[in-house]
Structure 1
């Protein structure tokens, strides 16, 4: 009998040890590797009927993206889950593998929810164990020079050296494509993407970037700002981790105030905004002990679950209303600017910022004196106003040649149809009249901005198989913010259409001189325009080449497609024969 008890205790001990994470087994100093994380979730899948580990697509590293689904009712079909009126919470970890708190916290949280039978009835929890699988294999203890632990961790860039938290629109990585597949299949109401901050030193372990209130649908924004955020801040304070908005300092230190972070659609929470999903980026502070950062993340994730359980009904109703409103919405802001005249007072707990001689240069350097903590009121600028607003067309017409655009639209649950036959259609076209481009590549692209367009109404020929996208869909935000060139993270700004910006034909001056002279004789209006331009611009009047170019570009010889944005806007409710 005594021997039996010893064996039983050993078996229990072995079972308990098998459920411990590498983080716990290391004394809370190490983060799990990719293989350790997946093995942990595979064991949960094998042990508990309420857990299922799924795979989707692929990543640039050649491994699929995993998704752990925790469902109390053992239902793992997202369509059936939505029909049963349950909420879906999606947690994403390791987009920056050097910021691994969420990886370790989620492993423990999933185990504890299953082991202690704490799964909620009305909420299904989905966890991506490690998003940037590629970067997680590039493991050192030095790539984040300002970070206090863990012992070793992954690298920010993936195997193509992309920062995946800039890739949610351009989708250069297979990781992003697979994430969008997961997101659009599961359609979560709430999304959490775990991170670690950089920047100033202060007393808080955890800071928070929510989906920006001024970009989010007003129904969702009202709930988030008046109900969800106050609950998050209150509950985190109760569990010993008082929280503050992400410290985005106006000056070198937070003393002069901070601004709200405006995440465009290249970022995870900016992308989820396009789908009326409320998103959050919790950012633990890089200089705090790793065990505290993991513990704060664990507790915050638990609070998210508690709030979504508490508000499951209203969250579902809000999402449905927001989707209906977006389907019928006419005016869409696509670019925002900070209103510097509107600021809130924010109680902030920081450390005194001081100067002392540098041991490296001998010159003054900044440091934060942790022996002088303070609590004081600072300014918080967090109001953004639309600077560009678009009136949606009835539909967009996309030539079938632009297949990557179509693939991304389909991936994002956009309904597309095709013309059944060649058709001439009255549309509004944009000509790109001006834009700025960065001088060095950003995430593999020479990114455009400050786009100016000249709209022109014209009859254009479209062909069988060209695509028509009507703007009567819940995903209108995605459609309009990607297809309108002036959008902050439009496909145009990410260089999808750069080929249209270059002329394919031109002229030889010595030949075109005679043609130009003949054009001026036959077209008095053209001659009048030329003389007006010469009178207005003395440099132009002395530049023979510029004058020839002017005549060329105002003649039928000039290619009509130069700088014409290839996606047309259908403004009239024209009956089209579609398949």
Structure 2
């Protein structure tokens, strides 16, 4: 009886074996070529792979605004699914993110097939000797659950798909730095843990009509660290373009242009600032790619092109893994010593390369809606012609890196975002007064309408001033002696394009908290001018050079007030200060 019970117990703990002829086709492969998996089908398929293959691990990786978890799938030789173990083994990490816009689902279906093939096909399995692949099955879980067949009005299939906005109606490809969504918060922590060498974000494009099934955004070469840029432009991109051409998926840079059609004025390089996925990745010396399959091509070839690109990318990275490792190490080494950092970039319209573009002739005809002329692309008139490609960018505002920033603990939402990005924060162990460089915020522009939940600031002017400022026990010290150096600078320097100031996290300092009653301050101002001849002289000079000021009693009173001890020193003073040296380390935990 004991042996019977023991045998039954052992049998109950063994995994149920797969049938001899297990069907590993994905839902896309089982369909008619114009269907994409649902969220549940996607997760179930990865769970099945996880249960079957030691090389595949799927686990929750944080929350999303939908209430469902974000998942990470790790595909790795010998089952190494830990970032530290992966780095110790000398493997390069490739991070593939799908479904940020779930109405653009090619990468979701392609990655399911790729993960399976990496463990089932010997030629692909060899790639895992050099690489670990991390996959986010569906990033915008919220949008994937909001399934429909109509919101992608310009797109040729699939039959049904998810929605672009997440549960808070945020476009997650504008949320990387500001991290309003739980999705972005979870992503930032996951990305910081893995700190991948190469990042891929899969999409479908809108815009012009042309012959290509796929276009490609690579990290803007001038923004990427030079060591990585040289590897990307000299080795990786040529291999990808050649490989895709051989597979009959010719590539071109993302079709972004001014004018009526792409051939009118040429293509413009896409400047992906840190609000975007690849721009965020570049802050950490990670090469980024955004695949953009063309909306008007049938769904099946779009999935196939995405699969082939991902496979080719893994193949090329495995072949050049040592070269990539050297480029990444050199980029990290130089970034640690770098002193001058650009905060924004401008396209150089005087420099362009020429590329052969495969398009369709753009023509006009009367609109059946308005009766007026409308644009259409005549697919009966394809062309291949040389066009200009403007992809050189120059640094605009630049800044010298301080030794550290000091962030008052009141700004917890900023501290949290820094931590999620992997920045190590220390706390002051006692109250202290620091002599540091403070910015006063001058002129800037603010968007008249909200953009992704914020009124964005831009074109900021600042004035720097050395001041003695009181800080308190628990305030944050953000040392720049760490790998996240560039991320900290581009978020905490207020003039940076996607700084936390630009996104409105410090807006309360823009409002003055104290003022004066004019009839009371008139006497105070008169006394100030009697006791301060220099201030009197400044007032008189301003009246001589500014007639409107000379005719305004309120403006003159305001001038005296702002140059008096009564004016609050914190008004328009940016809360984060730049610290250059001293004994601060001894006061920080």
Q: Same fold judged by TM-score > 0.5?
A: yes
Counterpart check, 1:488 vs 2:492? no
2:446 and 2:457 in contact (8 A); partners too: yes
Aligned to 1:158: 166
Aligned to 1:546: 555
Further displaced range: 113-122 or 168-177: 113-122
Aligned to 2:271: 262
Cα displacement (A) at 1:202: 0.4
Counterpart check, 1:184 vs 2:184? no
Equivalent-residue separation in structure 2 for 1:215 and 1:352 (angstroms): 34
1:51 and 1:68 in contact (8 A); partners too: yes
Equivalent-residue separation in structure 2 for 1:110 and 1:199 (angstroms): 31
Of 73, 82, 103, the match for 2:87:
82
- Length-normalised TM-score, structure 2: 0.95
Counterpart check, 1:246 vs 2:254? yes
Further displaced range: 509-518 or 554-563: 509-518
Give structure 1 stretches of 5+ with no counterpart: 1-9
Cα displacement (A) at 1:75: 1.3
Q: Per-residue displacement from partner, 1:240-271 (whole Å, max 9, x unpaired)?
A: 10110001012121012001000000000000
Further displaced range: 447-456 or 404-413: 404-413
Aligned to 1:146: 154
2:268 and 2:391 in contact (8 A); partners too: yes
Equivalent-residue separation in structure 2 for 1:319 and 1:65 (angstroms): 28
Of 14, 37, 43, the match for 1:38:
43
Aligned to 1:4: none
Aligned to 2:357: 348
- What are the residue-to-residue correspondences of 1:154-303 with 2, within 5 Å? 154-256=162-264, 257-303=266-312
Q: Per-residue displacement from partner, 1:501-540 (whole Å, max 9, x unpaired)?
A: 0000101111111111111111111111111111111111
Equivalent-residue separation in structure 2 for 1:55 and 1:498 (angstroms): 35
Of 70, 87, 91, the match for 1:65:
70
Instruction: Classify the secondary structure of the residue corresponding to 2:257.
Output: coil
Aligned to 1:500: 509
1:347 and 1:376 in contact (8 A); partners too: yes
2:360 and 2:378 in contact (8 A); partners too: yes
Aligned to 1:109: 114
Aligned to 1:7: none
Aligned to 2:103: 98
Of 510, 526, 529, the match for 2:519:
510
Cα displacement (A) at 1:69: 0.6
Query: What RMSD, in angstroms, separates the aligned Cα atoms of the two structures?
Result: 1.1
2:62 and 2:71 in contact (8 A); partners too: no
Q: Per-residue displacement from partner, 1:453-500 (whole Å, max 9, x unpaired)?
A: 010111111111111112222211101000000000000000000000
Aligned to 1:436: 445
Instruction: Classify the secondary structure of the residue corresponding to 1:434.
Output: coil
1:428 and 1:456 in contact (8 A); partners too: yes
2:211 and 2:359 in contact (8 A); partners too: yes
Cα displacement (A) at 1:418: 1.6
Further displaced range: 309-318 or 113-122: 113-122
Instruction: Classify the secondary structure of the residue corresponding to 2:383.
Output: strand
Equivalent-residue separation in structure 1 for 2:78 and 2:299 (angstroms): 35
Cα displacement (A) at 1:116: 2.1
Cα displacement (A) at 1:84: 1.1
Q: Per-residue displacement from partner, 1:78-127 (whole Å, max 9, x unpaired)?
A: 11110111111000000000100000000111112222243221101111
- The alignment of Structure 1 onto Structure 2 pairs a total of residues equal to 567
2:189 and 2:422 in contact (8 A); partners too: no
Of 348, 370, 373, the match for 1:339:
348
Cα displacement (A) at 1:411: 1.5
Equivalent-residue separation in structure 2 for 1:471 and 1:78 (angstroms): 23
1:327 and 1:475 in contact (8 A); partners too: no
- Length-normalised TM-score, structure 1: 0.97
Equivalent-residue separation in structure 2 for 1:473 and 1:113 (angstroms): 35
Equivalent-residue separation in structure 1 for 2:19 and 2:473 (angstroms): 68
Cα displacement (A) at 1:575: 4.3
Equivalent-residue separation in structure 1 for 2:453 and 2:260 (angstroms): 29
Instruction: Classify the secondary structure of the residue corresponding to 1:244.
Output: coil
Cα displacement (A) at 1:574: 4.3
Aligned to 2:541: 532
Aligned to 1:136: 144
Cα displacement (A) at 1:423: 1.1
Further displaced range: 100-109 or 19-28: 19-28
Cα displacement (A) at 1:140: 1.1
1:67 and 1:129 in contact (8 A); partners too: yes
Instruction: Classify the secondary structure of the residue corresponding to 2:437.
Output: strand
Equivalent-residue separation in structure 2 for 1:565 and 1:575 (angstroms): 20
Equivalent-residue separation in structure 1 for 2:120 and 2:87 (angstroms): 25
Aligned to 1:413: 422
Q: Per-residue displacement from partner, 1:134-153 (whole Å, max 9, x unpaired)?
A: 01111111101110000011
